[in-house]
Structure 1
Amino acid sequence: MEIAFDPAKDEINRQKHGISLARAVDLEILGFQADDRFAGETRYRAWGLIDERAYCLAFVQLEGASVPSAFVERETRRSDVMSRKIVFDDDNPEWTEQDFRTARPASELPPEILAAFPNTKQRGAQIAPTKVQVTLRLDRDVIERFRKTGKGWQTRINEALKKAV
Structure 2
Amino acid sequence: MTANKPSTVPDFTDDAPDLSAPEWREKFAAAPVRRGRPRARARKVSTTIRLDPDIVEAFRAAGEGWQSRINAALREYLEKRARS
TM, length-normalised to structure 1: 0.25
Higher-helix-fraction structure? 2
Which protein has greater RCO, CA pairs closer than 8 Å, 6+ apart?
1
TM, length-normalised to structure 2: 0.46
Higher-strand-fraction structure? 1
Structure with bigger gyration radius:
2
